[in-house]
Structures are given as structure tokens and as C-alpha cells.
Chains A and B, each alone.
Chain A
Amino acid sequence: MKTKIVLLVVLASLGLSAVPEAARAQEIQLEGPLAGAPAVRRLVLYREGRFFLTPTISFTILDTYRRHILFGAKAEYNILDWLSAGIYFGGGFGWRTGIADQINDLGIDDVPNQDYDLNFPQHGRVDNQLGQLQWLGAVEGRIIPLRGKFSLFGKLFLAMDVYVNIGVGIAGVKERGVTDCSGGATGVDGLCPTDAYRPMETRVAVGPSFGGGISVFFNDWIGLNLEYRSTPFTWNQSGTDEYGESEVILDRRIDENDRFLAWNQMMTIGCTFVFPFTAERTE
């Protein structure tokens, strides 16, 4: 009897062992040899772990009174191939737009019996009151969601990426200082200027800075950069009294209430140098 039991146990255990185990599925690539492959193989990591230094020239756009050109540079460390952090700084000078030229060609002294107005300068002296952007800096983060390449005329193939950046901008602006003519021609406290005295003051304006751009890479370590940037902040670009009790009833006093929000848009072109010079490749 004991033998039979042992025999049954042995047979039962062997029978259990014969129960087929469920098979593990293979990855059957029904869609061809590239199924499951990454979007890009041997991707050149132009950015990840590398440092960008980009000398730049920036032009302000859509200005009403004064255009500016800023010479500067961007320095940027790429934490990942799609994420970087950096700084920008540029300084330069400006010149009058066509509208400012027209204003400059006029003058309060052309009006009979007048030689002074708080807003309207004398002939040829509009530069004494128009706001100037002296320098602009930004600390910003950058996301590079798009990587790719393009063909130019079907002959030249270049790598490129597209990015957006956002950060904090600081600007050195020179604009008309506090000028109070509310009390008459000489103003209260004697602050209302004569024609020869239109005080300008320099201050630092702070605002967000955002934009986006394209980088085109000619090889592992040099590229071309084209960027749009906006740094909105308030300033008095015209150097005029624009607000009192309301926008219609003025107070004949130029101060911070006369500043308007400006988008301060600019286009930047730069040549990017990448360090170290050799980029790694993905599998």
C-alpha cells in the first residue's frame, strides 16, 4: 500500500511537471525592422553637458521713437540636450525712427510766441527727452523641444534645433527724470526746467524676458543662432507727460505715472561656439 502511495505521488509530481508552463511572449516585430527603434539613432548631442558661448548682435524692432542695436553675448550651460540655463548681456546705442525724425524737424519754437512746452521740444532737440535703452541683461532657462535637420536647395544638410526661453530681464534705461511744471513755468520747488534743462535719469528696469530661437549647427562646435526676445517693462519712451488725473486730464508733471508698458522686442543673431569641441552620439 505504501509503495502504491509513493508511486502515485511520484507519478502525480511528474504529471504536474508535465503541465506546460505558460510561454513568455516574444517581441514579434510585425512592423518591420525599425519597429520599436528610437526616433533618431546616433543622435548628435550638440547640447547635453556642453557649454555655449555666443557673441551676439541684437536689433530692437517695432520701436516708436528710437531703435537700438546691442552688442553682447550669451553664455549657456546645457544640462540636458533639451534643457539649459544661461545669461545674456548686451549694450549699445540707439537712433531715431522716422516718426522721431519728424518730431525733431518740428519744434515748439516754431510756434509763434512760444519757446517752451513740457512735452514738445524745441526744434532739433528731441533727443534730449526720448528714452534710451542702454543695456539689457537676462537670466533665463531654455527648453529645446525640437531637434532636427534640413536640406538647403537639396544640397546642404544641416542640423538645427528650436528653443523657447523664459527668465528675468534687467535693463538700463535712460529716460526723462521727474519734471514738475504743475505750478507754472518754473514749477513747484523750481523743478520745471527751462529749455536748456531737460533732466534725464538712468535707472534699472526689471521685467520678464521670454522668446525663442533657432540654432543651426555647421559642425560639432560652431553654429548660427537666430533669436527673438521680448522684455516687457514700463518706461517713458517719449519723455512726455501722458497721465494726470486720467489719460485725458494731465498733471503737467513727468514721473513714474507717465510710463507705459512696452514689449521691448528684439531680434538677435549670433555665432555659437560650443565647448568641448566634440559632441557625443547616442546609440
Chain B
Amino acid sequence: MMKRWFGLLGLAALMGIPAPAWGQDDMTFDDSGGAGDDMTFDDSGGGGDDMTFDDSGTGDTGDTGDTGDTGDTGGGLAGLLGTAPTTTVEEPLEDDVLDTAALEEPEIWAVQQSYVLRDGRFELTPTYGISLNDPFVTHNAFGVKLGWYITEVLGLSASFQWYQGLDAESADNFHIPRSFRLVVPINEYQLGANLHFSYVPIYGKLTIFNEWIFHWDCFIEGGVGFLYTRPIPVVDPEVRTFDFGIRVAANIGIGARIFLTKFVAIYVQYLDFMYMEKLESLTIQPNETTDRTSGDWLQSRYNPDTWLGESKFTNDMMLFVGASIFFPFTFDYEYPK
């Protein structure tokens, strides 16, 4: 009788010994395997056949090879009864998990592989611009810019801006003449077209609250083009009208791009257009004749040749914002990361 008891207890004890849970050599993540042998990553639980990866248990599946751990899984009664272990095993699962803390700290370069490559790509940039330095008239412009990068840091581009209808005269244009009897000649723009040469000396990256990383660059730019401008008649508006004319303008500026993706960036640029502006004459000629054959015509108020005054070197400082789109959208790195 005692022998039977000891035998039963021994049997029970054996049943309690967790069978080793085997690491899987053939870990598959597809549906092709047999019913019992697959490692599944679902929440179905079940018996000892499937290894589940949920948070409900207390045992560590990574310790499946340690038979003494009560929380271990995958064996138990099934193993004792000789059922083939469903998750067969050569190595502990732990070996499949990379412990990054144990790795040698890799060398991190200040700026590793550039997030965006520019070499050989085109850049299309719709822009909105506003003048910064004219207290009498604010010049607004919608524009577009198309660029092509010769190298990673050197590029050529052409831009076009449309101004007409977007100018806004400031309150100073009213107050100063009234208070100080000072008439300041002002001009309006119709359009501008320019060629630019770009150089990108600064490239960097920023984190937002140490969570998200984005990349940016800073470029300087210079070139030449023209503005199509004319005076707004303020000295003798009853008589004078002006046609638009071409003013050759050099441009120089600095800008930055903040890359949202590898082909879309927020674009900000300060650009100074330098040119000789033709201003309205502050003098009204004394004669009133409209007869072009008259000897008084040269000093006639109606003679268009008397309407323009001095040419003045002008800085038109513009701030542009826009969105850059690079294409082709994708690119290949020459070297692996």
C-alpha cells in the first residue's frame, strides 16, 4: 500500500516537473507550418502547444530551458505524457533577443548618412514673399522657383515672382506727407524673374523636445535678374501715368529648409534685390501746354519726359516662405549606412 502511495506521489511529482520548453529553430512567421509546430504571436493562449506572447502570465518564456522555474511553460503534463513538444527546441529563446545594453556602444558620427541627398535632384518651390524694408509700400508676391543641384552643395535655380495687385500702401504714406509736407516717391512692381546660384554650407538636425528628429540645411544664394516696375504717381497724379520698365537687379540672400520627408521641406529665405529704381520727379513743370510743337513743351507739365526724376539705388529686401518639393522623390546612397 505504501509503495502504491509512493509510486503515485512519484508519478505526480514527475508530472509536476515542467518539461523543457524548447527554443525554436524553425521559427516561422507565416501560415505554412503544421498545427502544433508553429510559433504564434496571437492572444489565443491555449494549451502547451502554442507559445503566446502576451502580458497575462507571470512566467518568462525566455527561461523555458530552466526546468526549475515554476512559471515556465510549454511542457508539463503534455511532456510527461510523451506528446511531442510542439515548440521544439535547440536554443533558448533568449538568444534570439538582442540585448542592446550589452553591446559595445557604437561610434556615432556627428552627422551620419545625410537624410536628404540633393545631388542631381530638382527642387520646385512655390513661394509667398513680403518686402521688409519699405515703410511706404509693402510688396507682396507669389512665386515659383525651380532649381537643380549640380553637387550636394551647389545648385542653380530660376525664380519668378508676381507682384502686381498685391502691393499695400502703408499709413506712413499718408501721415508723413501730411505732417512734414514731404512727398516720397513710391513704386509698384509687376513681376520679377531671376537666376540664382546656391551654396549649402550648413547642414544639421534638430530634435523637438528630444522626441522627434528632423533635418535642416541653410544655404546662401546670389544671382541676377530683373524687376518690372513703375512709379506710382504721387506728386502729380492728375497728369502723370507710368509704364512698367525692366530694372536689372542683382540678388543675394540666405535661406533654410526644414525637411519633413526626403522630398518635402519647409522653405524660408531672405533675399535682397539690389537695383537702380526710376523714381517720379518731385518737380512739376510750370507750363500747361499740350502742344508738342510748342516751344514750351520741354517744360510742360504734360511732357512725359519730365515726369521721371533721379534713379536711386534701391534695396528690396524680401522674405519668402514656401514648400520645397524635390524630385525624383527617391534616391540611392552611394555607401551603406
| Docked complex Cα distance between A26 and B62 (Å) | 8
A21 interface contact, C-beta 8 A: yes
Residues of B close to A264: CB separation below 8 A: none
Partner of A23, one of B59, B77, B184, B212: B59
Which of A15, A19, A148 has most B Cβ within 10 Å?
A: A148
Does A39 contact B182, Cβ atoms closer than 8 Å? Answer: no
- Chain A residues positioned under 8 Å from B178 (CB to CB): 119
- Cross-chain contact of B206 among A24, A38, A162 (Cβ < 8 A): A162
What chain A residues lie within 8 Å of B202 (beta carbons)? 150-152
Q: Which of B45, B53, B208 contacts A26 (CB 8 A)?
A: B53
Closest to A37 in B: B100
CA distance A260 to B209 in the complex (A): 39
Contact indicator A39/B206 (Cβ below 8 Å): no
**CA separation between A22 and B100, bound complex, in Å?**
26
> Taking each of A18, A157, A162, which has the highest tally of chain B beta carbons within 10 Å of its own beta carbon?
A18
Q: Are A41 and B108 in contact (CB under 8 A)?
A: yes
Q: Does A64 contact B135, Cβ atoms closer than 8 Å?
A: yes
**Contact of A39 with B211 in the complex, beta carbons under 8 Å:** yes
The answer to whether B204 has its CB under 8 Å from any CB of chain A is yes
B8 CB within 8 Å of chain A: yes
Of chain A, the residue at the smallest CB distance from B215 is A148
Find residues 156-172 in chain B having any chain A CB closer than 8 Å to their own CB: 171-172
CB distance from A3 to the nearest CB of B (A): 8
Rounded to whole Å, the gap between the CB of A108 and the closest CB of chain B is 8
Bound form: Cα–Cα A82–B56 in Å: 38
Interchain CB contact under 8 A, B100 and A33: yes
Q: How many A-B residue pairs have CB under 8 A?
A: 168
What's the Cα separation between A29 and B99 when bound, in Å? 9
B55 close to chain A: CB less than 8 A: yes
Q: What residues on A are CB-neighbors of B211 within 8 Å?
A: 39
Count of residues in A whose CB is under 8 Å from the partner chain = 55
Q: A240–B171 Cα gap in the complex (Å)?
A: 14
B98 to chain A, nearest CB (A): 6
Where chain A touches its partner, the secondary structure class is loop
Q: How large is the interface on B (under 10, 10 to 19, 20 to 34, 35 or more residues)?
A: 35 or more
A151 x B204 contact (CB < 8 A)? yes
Contact (A20, B76) CB under 8 Å given A38-B210, A39-B207, A151-B203: yes
A248 CB to nearest chain B CB (Å)? 9
- CB of B35 within 8 Å of the partner chain: no
Give chain B residues whose Cβ lies under 8 Å from the Cβ of A14.
12-13, 15-16
Within 8 Å of chain A (Cβ to Cβ): is B58?
yes
A262 to B61, CA, bound (A): 69
Cβ of B71 within 8 Å of any chain A Cβ, yes or no, is yes
Question: At the interface, yes or no: A276 with Cβ under 8 Å from chain B?
Answer: no
- Residue ranges of A at the interface with B (Cβ–Cβ < 8 Å): 7, 10-11, 14-15, 17-29, 33-34, 37-41, 43, 62, 64, 81-82, 99, 102-103, 106, 111, 119-120, 145-154, 157, 160, 162, 238, 240-242, 260
Q: A149-B204, A151-B110 are in contact. List 6 more A-B contacts (CB 8 A).
A: A10-B8, A23-B59, A24-B61, A43-B210, A149-B111, A151-B203
Interface residues of B (CB under 8 A from A): 8-9, 12-13, 15-16, 18, 45, 47-48, 51-62, 71, 73-78, 80, 93, 96-98, 100, 103, 108, 110-111, 132-133, 135, 171-172, 175-176, 178-182, 184, 201-213, 216, 218
Return the 4 tightest CB-CB contacts between A and B, nearest first: A150-B204, A148-B206, A22-B57, A18-B76
